[in-house]
Structure 1
Amino acid sequence: MSVTEQHASIHSATESCAEDTVYRKVSWRLLPFLCTLWVLAWLDRVNIGFAKLQMLDSLQFSEAVYGLGAGIFFLGYFFFEVPSNALLQKIGAKKTIMRITIGWGVICILQSLVTTPTQFYILRFLLGAFEAGFYPGIILYLTYWYPSSRRAKAFGTFMSASAIAGVIGGPLAGSIMTSMDGVAGQHGWQWLFVLEGIPSVLAGIVAYFYMTDRPEQATWLTAAEKQVIGNVLEQDRRAMGERGHDWRTLFRNPKVWLLIAIFFCLLCANSALTFWIPTIIRDAGFGTPMVIGWIAALAYVFGAAGMILNGTHSDRSKEVCWHFALPAGFAALAMAVMATLLGATSIMPALVMAAMVIALAGTMSAIPVFWQLPNLYLAGSAAAIGVALINSVSNLAGFGAPYVLGLVKNATGSLAPGLYLVAAIELLAAVLVIVGIAHARRKEG
């Protein structure tokens, strides 16, 4: 190696070290707080699954009423997600996240006052409407800070908060519903909504003062650190090449609709598991809210680990498609096995729980990697609106899957037939990524 090459190598290593140092600082500043917000959002979104264990008897609601109420949340997502992301790009992240977080906290608390199915449906819709924009907004927000080579890990770390919420949420819900039942004349499920809604309202206020919209506005970064981030992001934009910037082309872009189909299929599985895990655990033979909560927590530990490890490995190997398809495929297989076991004459609880853990971990591990795929085709305003469009339309799966499972359970007394359908849909997500994206890019390359 010549002297010039040695100097170039040393310079490159120095730049890489400086970049790593800056991004450690950025990650410690941004990700813990964003993860905390996502934990609160997830708790307020899915605590209905635990409240159901008491709420249905208390209010005389059917399984179908629950399924529709759980799913109607995502109609609010569908209608308000794209406008929310467009607003974020215009007014900034901290104002948008403050509005969203305070709103969903207030609606969560109001759910404790529900007495009729109509009230239940309206508040679940409003919860979705207020939370709409948070998830895709954070995905967009992180692209303002991280280059594509670091995003899967950042996405995985942020999204693993939903698994952490599962770890916390199960025992917390079980404890509140058991210990607070009857306090001040309120049911345990009512206290669950109140005590999990208040922290979100407070966190929304904190978000306005804590968050920074863009790297160049960060008073907690030095001028040199801002320059490092600016250079890295500019290099990344050049390396990614020409991509769609005009959001008006999104609706006629077949790649966008392919991404919507893929994520829709994955979210069918994710939402089915999210809202029905407490019922699956109960149907496997575990009865009390506290026990159900702790089993759900253990399952989400594996989900959190899978999201972080799969996202990190995807970044290191610079591969996306197979890091999505393999976890989704294994999850679909595990869900089919779980359905078979639940439909058997003699249920084996340990095997049902093992299949459930694999299904949950595989499904969740594929989610952060998916969000690298839009970056292959979209940039600028097209990315801002595109991420929201993909997420909002795909989340209609969150409306359909829980409702269909509720109808199936009402009609048959078992979740097994519905779980078979969900498993087949999730397997389709893996196939679409390999055939529609990985194979197509090899041919283009």
Structure 2
Amino acid sequence: MHQENPQTLPDAVQACIVRKVALRLIPFLAVAYLLNYLDRTNIAFANLTMSKDLGLSETGYGLASGLFFVGYVFLEVPSNLALHRFGARRWIARIMVTWGIVAIGIAFVNSPATLYTGRILLGVAEAGFFPGVMLYMTWWFPRAVRVRLIGLFMIALPASSALGAPLSGAIIEYLHGFLGLAGWRVMFLIEGAPTVALGIVAWFYLTDRPRQAQWLTPDEREWLDTTMAAEQTATAEGGHTSVRQSLRDARVWVLGFVYFGLGYGLFALSFFLPTIVAGFAKSFHTDFSIFQSALIVAIPFTVGAIALVIWAQHSDRTGERIWHVALPTLLAAITVPVALYMQSPAGAMAVISLTAIGIYAAFPVFWYLPSTFLTGTAAAGGIAVVNTMGAVAGFAAPYITGWLLDLTGTSKAGLWVVGVVMSASAIVLLTFRRRFRPRTADEAQPADASSTPRTAPLPSPSKYS
């Protein structure tokens, strides 16, 4: 066991501690987030056959997609405050088991009304999961490496679509009739069950705070707990610690508006890309099966996952944050309406891939920003408020896009709206960028000068035991 003061441990040792924590938490949380987004958006593939079975129009499908966010919006802030009070282990486990049960139950809906009810209940069950994980990460990872690690966690966002699209397509096409059920019903059953199992595991696997981590040595626990407490104190001195303070800060609402734009683009892409690919049959006289369409849909999300990691690492190396959010958002805003003017499926998917790159690259850097001025219950409430704004976009984007599709018979109008909304969010962030300048040198390194340097590698744990 090392005898150094936890605040003066060598950089290599500090990096090993962070790596040890990351290897323990990031893969588990990423898999949970993958399931979270899959259970939220797999309705996009169910729609290829479900709408006919239930008698849904495109507007009705858009409403069903968006109704998820009704209960989600109202319970985001209370759920995140509950996580702060009761601990991440209990609350994340509760959320996962509940949403998994509801996701399975959607397999048995028999009318638009019961589908709408199921989607509302799914939103109620999932409320607080993502902002809760974002808050949880501020308890465990020093600010200097947080964007990189949030990026690794958020690979699950595009991966849920890149992996989930072929999986959903294969289940719908090849397991149709299993247990006497339609393929889309089988999909909801199969994809909801792992969430319940992982939620039970979360109760035993997760640890609320570094000081409770018996899987760290005493010196490791002391260093990490002291480091994170110092960062929280530094943030509190220049930032906010109460929910009321955070709600009076214009920066929270600026970030909320920016996240509305990002969410608008993300959910429009996630919920309607399968429909757009299916529309190639009319535009380009293609003849793709459901599974082949799913493989095509996976392409932009796969490219987006790669871009997400590279861009997050670049942001950490340079220490720049605002432009690392604004530039990819503008890329997505410009490319998304152009996609359907391409003259071939390959051209359309190439442009949509640029859109996915822009959307996904912005996310991990964006979620660094709230932690620069929020801590304690202010972080719980403020992060939930920001995520709630994105959830509002989650209702608006699929409903408006579906309504415009029914109204005009084409996806073009809906995608132009996406481009305008995303452009506005990037412009607002750039307009207020001076409000997000770091208050102190802790942007360049953590509150304690001996903490892990931003560019320090995360070496193998074998170098420290």
TM-score (norm 1): 0.93
Q: Share of identical aligned residues, percent?
A: 38
Cα separation, 1, equivalents of 2:438 and 2:108: 55
AA of the residue aligned to 2:149: A
Structure with larger RCO (C-alpha < 8 A, sep 6+): 2
Deviation digits for residues 326-381 of structure 1, max 9, x if unmatched?
Answer: 1111111110211433xxxxx41111001111101210110111111112222221
Partner of 1:353: 349
Question: Which of 418, 422, 445 lines up with 1:422 in the alignment?
Answer: 418
Say whether 1:311 aligns with 2:307.
no
Partner of 1:256: 252
AA of the residue aligned to 1:301: T
Cα separation, 1, equivalents of 2:122 and 2:23: 29
Cα separation, 2, equivalents of 1:227 and 1:316: 27
Partner of 1:135: 130
Partner of 1:406: 402
Say whether 1:297 aligns with 2:293.
no
Shift of residue 442 of structure 1? Answer: 9.4
Matches within 5 A, 1:27-176: 27-176=22-171
Shift of residue 252 of structure 1? Answer: 2.5
Cα separation, 2, equivalents of 1:337 and 1:21: 46
Cα separation, 2, equivalents of 1:266 and 1:97: 24
Partner of 2:444: none
Instruction: Write 1 or 2 for the structure with the bigger share of helix.
Output: 1
Shift of residue 444 of structure 1? Answer: 12
Partner of 1:369: 365
- The 3-state SS of whatever aligns with 1:411 is helix
Say whether 1:242 aligns with 2:243.
no
Partner of 2:208: 213
Say whether 1:433 aligns with 2:429.
yes
Cα separation, 2, equivalents of 1:59 and 1:369: 40
8 Å CA contact 1:339, 1:417 repeated in 2: no
Deviation digits for residues 208-230 of structure 1, max 9, x if unmatched?
Answer: 01111111000100011112212
Q: What is the total number of aligned residue pairs between the two structures? A: 430
- The 3-state SS of whatever aligns with 1:166 is helix
- The 3-state SS of whatever aligns with 1:392 is helix
Question: Which of 182, 193, 198 lines up with 2:193 in the alignment?
Answer: 198
Cα separation, 2, equivalents of 1:440 and 1:259: 10
Cα separation, 2, equivalents of 1:67 and 1:355: 23
Change (3 A) 1:231 1:288: same
AA of the residue aligned to 1:128: G
Deviation digits for residues 396-426 of structure 1, max 9, x if unmatched?
Answer: 0000010001101111110101100111111
8 Å CA contact 2:77, 2:384 repeated in 1: yes
Change (3 A) 1:443 1:383: closer
AA of the residue aligned to 1:389: V
Cα separation, 2, equivalents of 1:187 and 1:84: 35
Partner of 1:268: 264
Gaps of 5+ in 1: 1-10, 342-346
8 Å CA contact 1:321, 1:438 repeated in 2: no
Cα separation, 2, equivalents of 1:441 and 1:96: 33
Say whether 1:224 aligns with 2:225.
no
AA of the residue aligned to 2:323: W
Cα separation, 2, equivalents of 1:161 and 1:221: 26
8 Å CA contact 2:32, 2:198 repeated in 1: yes
- The 3-state SS of whatever aligns with 1:61 is coil
8 Å CA contact 1:104, 1:130 repeated in 2: yes
Cα separation, 1, equivalents of 2:440 and 2:94: 43
Cα separation, 1, equivalents of 2:98 and 2:439: 47
Partner of 2:322: 321
Change (3 A) 1:440 1:48: closer
Deviation digits for residues 30-69 of structure 1, max 9, x if unmatched?
Answer: 0111111111111111110000001011222111110000
Cα separation, 2, equivalents of 1:336 and 1:366: 19
Cα separation, 1, equivalents of 2:394 and 2:233: 36
Shift of residue 185 of structure 1? Answer: 2.0
Change (3 A) 1:369 1:129: same
Matches within 5 A, 1:372-411: 372-411=368-407
Cα separation, 2, equivalents of 1:140 and 1:391: 12
Cα separation, 1, equivalents of 2:336 and 2:290: 23
Shift of residue 158 of structure 1? Answer: 1.1
- The 3-state SS of whatever aligns with 1:106 is helix
Partner of 1:8: none
AA of the residue aligned to 2:100: G
Between 1:80-89 and 1:295-304, the stretch displaced more is 295-304
- The 3-state SS of whatever aligns with 1:389 is helix
AA of the residue aligned to 1:89: H
Cα separation, 2, equivalents of 1:13 and 1:329: 43
Partner of 2:289: 288
Change (3 A) 1:440 1:166: closer
Shift of residue 438 of structure 1? Answer: 4.0
- The 3-state SS of whatever aligns with 1:336 is coil
8 Å CA contact 1:284, 1:352 repeated in 2: no
Change (3 A) 1:53 1:31: same
Shift of residue 113 of structure 1? Answer: 1.0
Change (3 A) 1:152 1:76: same
- The 3-state SS of whatever aligns with 1:378 is coil
Shift of residue 141 of structure 1? Answer: 0.3
Partner of 2:459: none
Cα separation, 2, equivalents of 1:57 and 1:191: 16
Change (3 A) 1:239 1:99: closer
8 Å CA contact 2:166, 2:294 repeated in 1: yes
8 Å CA contact 2:400, 2:414 repeated in 1: yes
Cα separation, 2, equivalents of 1:432 and 1:312: 24
